[in-house]
Amino acid sequence: MSNTDIARIIEQLREGLNQHNYRYYVLNSPVISDYEYDQLMDKLIELERKYPEYFDPDSPTQRVGSDINVEFKQVKHKYPMLSLGNTYNEGEITDFYNRVAKALNEPFEIVCELKYDGASISLVYENGRLVRGVTRGDGTQGDDVTANVKTIKSIPLKIKGDYPAEFEIRGEVFIPRNKFEQMNRERIEAGEEPFSNPRNTAAGSLKLQNSKQVAQRPLDCFLYYLLGEDLPSDKHAENLEKARSWGFKIPEEYKVCGSLNEIFEFIHYWDTARYELNYDIDGIVLKVNDINQQKRLGFTAKNPRWAISYKFKAEQGYTKLLSVDFQVGRTGAVTPVANLEPVQLAGTIVKRASLHNADFIKSLDLHIGDMVFVEKGGEIIPKIVKVDVDARKPDSEPVRFITHCPECGTELVRPEGEAAYYCPNSESCPPQVKGRIEHFISRKAMNIDGLGAETIDLLYSVNLVKDVADLYSLHPMQLMPLERLGEKSARNIIRSIEESKKVPFPRVLYALGIRYVGETVAKKLAYAFKSIDKLKDATQEELTSVDEIGERIAQSIISFFSNEKNIELIERLKKAGLQFELKEEEENRVSQVLNGKTFVISGTFSNHSRDEIKELIERYGGKNTSSLSSKTDYLVAGENMGPAKLAKAEKLGIPIISEEDFEKMLQQ
């Protein structure tokens, strides 16, 4: 195949994948399956790896992000990102409209748009390519987060059409509600704290210094304002539609209004309909449509005179606290939940609300029977925000956090530095045991079909399954007589359990449910240590030398393997035939040229990220550690390496090699 043919195939794949991204993330109308998309992406990745001369920074393969940590540069906005004046009542909307009418003294239109509750972003395009993404910052300058922005698939890296040579488009980065809920479920399964709300998580994600981590967050982006010297139209709404034709995700939910009545109709409609959206909005933005009129109206010191935002009031429910339940999760964390008299809130009937933890209850000074205010706001789960102390009865009892587990009676503990109380009886506390089994059989873990929460509860209650290893001793004849199970269901469950023995080691490790060891961490640990036995024997230093493994995760792993019952469980699972080491093809070691050599990596590099160098060391038989010692064979030194590490290497007589020296080692 000629170079011309290769270049053509690569370009066709890029064009096709860009189009599929656009259809999926912008139009929400995919035409191929996820599997077919992945096949095309894998083919492009392979060709780009094989033919690096055809590298393109705008290739869809570059959206996975880099694991090189970066410090954000401050970039000055060409056009200041001023905040809008806020109003909370319709009288102030009328005042704004009348001020505009008086100042212009000619007909005008107002564009009403939804006010998205996320993180503002400014995107700069030159010659049809995304060159810069900048946060709002202080309005005058913000952080350059281009690498992070490029991981958001609804933001085009290249656009098509009759676009200006240079322009800026602004919008809001957000996380859809369903994606946020899914992300939190996965964090809870991994024993991690759930995120508080989509808005803060979106804003925090943009500020992560590792774009590969950003790529794993379900970020999306609406664009709603075009700026530049050579815009296609003098009308804001027409510019939005033009930008839509270039490939930008422009919201459908806006309206060009010619009167106050139309504006109020739009506001009243969305004050109710907002609860049907899959993302959060907290108000309506009003903008004068004509850009020339915008220029005539100008700005105050802080706000444009041609725009204003109307903020919805956070809807509150007023109801009675009946009681408080304390729920025990898979990790043993005890969560208090308020039981309320039913109240209508944000389009739904609310009967329960989160109370978070003991400190939260104490801060509210909550009493049983209190009249309380409940909000949804930006939260997914309703929460109590205030107590009507004046309505409290004098004989009411304060809510006290329990001291013993409500399920097994074990005294609760509160680890230093944490807000939650835990039941330490992980071996026999029923919700913890059943929760671990449910996690073990889940799709991303062992993927055992036919076993849901109800069936696990049933198997536990009749003493057939007391831990995950018991699953591998089940027989169809034991299952057939059980309620809701017949011969077909029983045999399907046993068949799926048998199939799970083929699940690779990284997923088995994730399935064990070690606290803080989620799906990604489990993969990193599996590829770093190769087997459960080597992981079991790893020291804290060896664990923290693995990328993204900090002190907390390392200590959790050591604690898990120090428990003899966990070791016994693993031995039983080994005898059942589960995979507890990487297969030879999974290890994918290409050579043992670095066998027995220990490396420390420091600084930044030109050709590889730090993670890539670590992976190469492991693939070629070497070992990574985080700190220098007399046992270190080489220090791989990049730019901006700390002087203390350099001095220590010289003092210990450790050879200091460059990235180029390291590459030559691999070629030997």
30: pLDDT confidence band, cut at 50, 70 and 90? low
| Domain 76-311: top CATH class | alpha beta
Residue 615 pLDDT: 76
pTM beyond 0.85, yes or no = no
Indicate the DSSP class of residue 64.
G
Query: Does the pLDDT value for residue 554 go beyond 80?
Result: yes
The model's pLDDT over 297-308, given as tens digits with 9 standing for 90+, comes to 998 767 899 999
Query: Does the pLDDT value for residue 27 go beyond 70?
Result: no
- Mean pLDDT (the chain) is 87
Query: Does the pLDDT value for residue 378 go beyond 60?
Result: no
User: Residue 93 carries which side chain, given as an amino acid letter?
Assistant: I
Start-end of CATH 1.10.287.610 domains in the chain: 3-64
Query: Does the pLDDT value for residue 516 go beyond 90?
Result: no
The model's pLDDT over 445-481, given as tens digits with 9 standing for 90+, comes to 999 988 888 899 999 999 999 999 999 999 999 998 8
| Domain 3-64: top CATH class | mainly alpha
Closest C-alpha to 67, from 213, 208, 218:
213
Task: Report, as an integer, the average pLDDT of 423-437.
Answer: 92
Is residue 115 annotated as part of the catalytic site, yes or no?
yes
Residue 648 pLDDT: 84
The model's pLDDT over 395-412, given as tens digits with 9 standing for 90+, comes to 999 999 999 999 999 999
Residue 70 pLDDT: 55
Task: Report, as an integer, the average pLDDT of 336-362.
Answer: 87
Higher pLDDT, 152 or 17: 152
The model's pLDDT over 477-508, given as tens digits with 9 standing for 90+, comes to 999 888 878 888 899 999 999 999 999 999 99
Which residue of the set 50, 76, 115, 488 is catalytic?
A: 115
Residue 462 pLDDT: 92
Burial of 389 (C-beta count, 10 Å sphere; 0-12/13-18/19+): exposed
Task: Report, as an integer, the average pLDDT of 199-220.
Answer: 86
Higher pLDDT, 664 or 574: 574
**What is the DSSP track for 136-194?**
-TTSSEEEB-HHHHTT-TTS-SB--SS--SEEEEEEEEE--HHHHHHHHHHHHHTTPPP
Residue 72 pLDDT: 80
User: Residue 243 carries which side chain, given as an amino acid letter?
Assistant: A
- CATH ID of 505-586, from 3.60.150.10, 1.10.8.100, 1.10.150.20, 2.60.40.10: 1.10.150.20
Q: Which CATH architecture has domain 430-502?
A: Orthogonal Bundle (1.10)
With a CB cutoff of 8 Å and minimum separation 6, the contacts of 565 are 427
Query: Does the pLDDT value for residue 34 go beyond 60?
Result: no
Query: Does the pLDDT value for residue 143 go beyond 80?
Result: yes
Higher pLDDT, 497 or 34: 497
Query: Does the pLDDT value for residue 265 go beyond 80?
Result: yes
Query: Do 599 and 632 contact (CB within 8 A), yes or no?
Result: yes
Measured at the alpha carbon of residue 351, what is the angle toward residues 350 and 352, in degrees to the nearest 5? 100
Start-end of CATH 1.10.150.20 domains in the chain: 430-502, 505-586
Higher pLDDT, 327 or 418: 327
Task: Report, as an integer, the average pLDDT of 603-624.
Answer: 79
In this structure, the number of other CB atoms found within 10 A of the CB of residue 268 comes to: 11
Residue 26 pLDDT: 62
Q: What is the CATH number of domain 589-667?
A: 3.40.50.10190
415: pLDDT confidence band, cut at 50, 70 and 90? confident
* Kind and range of the H or E run holding 582: none
Query: Does the pLDDT value for residue 366 go beyond 90?
Result: yes
Task: Report, as an integer, the average pLDDT of 319-337.
Answer: 92
| Domain 317-391: top CATH class | mainly beta
User: Residue 619 carries which side chain, given as an amino acid letter?
Assistant: R
25: pLDDT confidence band, cut at 50, 70 and 90? low
> What is the rounded CA–CA span in Å between residue 288 and residue 84?
13
With a CB cutoff of 8 Å and minimum separation 6, the contacts of 287 are 110, 111, 113, 236, 294, 306, 307
Closest C-alpha to 12, from 64, 54, 62:
54
Query: Does the pLDDT value for residue 532 go beyond 90?
Result: yes
Here the tokens at position 492 are 């399907």
Task: Report, as an integer, the average pLDDT of 82-109.
Answer: 91
Residue 494 pLDDT: 93
Listed as own residue / partner, the contacts of 535-543 with beta carbons closer than 8 Å and 24 or more positions apart are 535/509, 535/561, 536/561, 536/567, 541/625, 541/626, 541/627, 542/625
